[in-house]
Amino acid sequence: MAEQITVRSVRREDLAAWQGLWDGYNVFYGRTGATALVPEITRMTWSRFFDEYEPVYALIAERAGTVLGFVHYIFHRSTIHLTPVCYLEDLYTLESARGQGIARALIEVVYDRARAAGVRSVYWQTHESNTVAMRLYDKVAARFGFLVYDKVL
């Protein structure tokens, strides 16, 4: 019988495991070389998970003590809802662990945390080329057709 997936809040002692996943996530999205994130961004991101004044949270998924994936999410206000909403900002699993329910488990725990916080909805975006992930996303959420525009300043 396969070991069960455990999803929990990230802890300070998870830094090395999280960092390895974070690096893989950034490589997956092409943030390497000249487009790599500066180390200060990674340090600040990590510190926000432990700052009680930041609405930024991180969960990790593990099996048999091995960290296999993470999700980062943010609660924020909205101009079209009275209650906060949740933006699922980053989701990543080790390539060797894909197709084993890790991402679904992470998303479901974000849903649980959002419900417990009185949040109305959870939303996210992905790159149009991320077709493997979109097969899961189409099962666990609705796609509303919005396109993302971004202007780097």
With a cut of 80, say whether residue 2 has pLDDT above it: no
CA 97, CA 47: separation in Å to the nearest integer?
A: 27
**Could you tell me the pTM of the whole model?**
0.91
Span of 46-55, 66-75, 140-149 with lowest mean pLDDT = 140-149
pLDDT of residue 150: 83
pLDDT at site 46: 98
Residue 43 has a pLDDT of 96
pLDDT, tens digit (0-9, with 9 covering 90-100), for 72-93:
999 999 999 899 999 999 999 9
Give me the pLDDT at residue 33, please.
Answer: 83
Structure confidence by residue, pLDDT tens digits, 35-56: 888 999 999 999 999 999 999 9
Kind plus residue range of the DSSP H or E element containing 8: strand 6-9
Q: What residue ranges do the domains of the chain occupy?
A: 6-140
Number of Cβ within 10 Å of residue 87's Cβ equals 16
Torsion angle, alpha carbons of 24, 102, 140, 82, to 10: -70
Paired with 6 in beta bridges are: 62
Confidence of residue 15 (pLDDT cuts 50, 70, 90): very high
- Judged against a pLDDT cut of 70, whether residue 1 lies above it is answered with no
Residue 44 CB coordination number (10 Å): 13
**Would you call 142 helix, strand, or coil by DSSP?**
coil
**CATH code, residues 6-140:** 3.40.630.30
24-38 pLDDT, tens digit per residue, is 999 988 888 878 889
